[in-house]
Structure 1
């Protein structure tokens, strides 16, 4: 992070930053059509760590928040995607880095939308340009 000094110059400062919330704020400021929080888990799980755990494939912000996820693990990621969806009305998701294309296609991750529904890339407004989709697939 940086601040502007009294002289008008920018200088770096030390700070602890919530990277998930920062991603959400940046995506909103850049008017991104979607936000993916990519991590090392498949998505959000209900009853995580129990024999009854089950991945949540689709959800609304209210549904995810009602799960009361811990602040030290999935909680900040959930709050970041919920904030983005509520402020923009667009899609956000949490899932594995290697599943990024599958998440956009609606086949992986936990996808969050205002209504909890998502049918794939055509639901992103505007739809992802074909050439961008090709670059994502090659990555």
Structure 2
């Protein structure tokens, strides 16, 4: 799916989702963040602050789901969106968001998956970098 496939047909807006911040940004844990994929950057807004990561800085993205038995006999699932990027000081950093499936809407999860797919598509041909640990 190309970047221009992210436009919605109804109002021509960019792909967007809302997930809770877990770690990686200078805001509190569990702050609801709006994550918007724009043509040149990933915008993150939450806790009264806006952040932008240039798409060329993003190294990879993942969407994972952790499933655990629920007390009622069902399954409790929590999804995580992880984004690794190179900051302006050339350090490899990550930001993590989460959403409990019971709280979430299917559209939020679907859009988060689409954002991850698009970020990985855009970053797959970037050369490897060396990070000194």
Q: TM-score, structure 2 length as denominator?
A: 0.29
Instruction: Please identify the structure whose Cα radius of gyration is greater.
Output: 1
Structure number with higher helix proportion: 1
Structure number with higher strand proportion: 2
Q: TM-score, structure 1 length as denominator?
A: 0.28
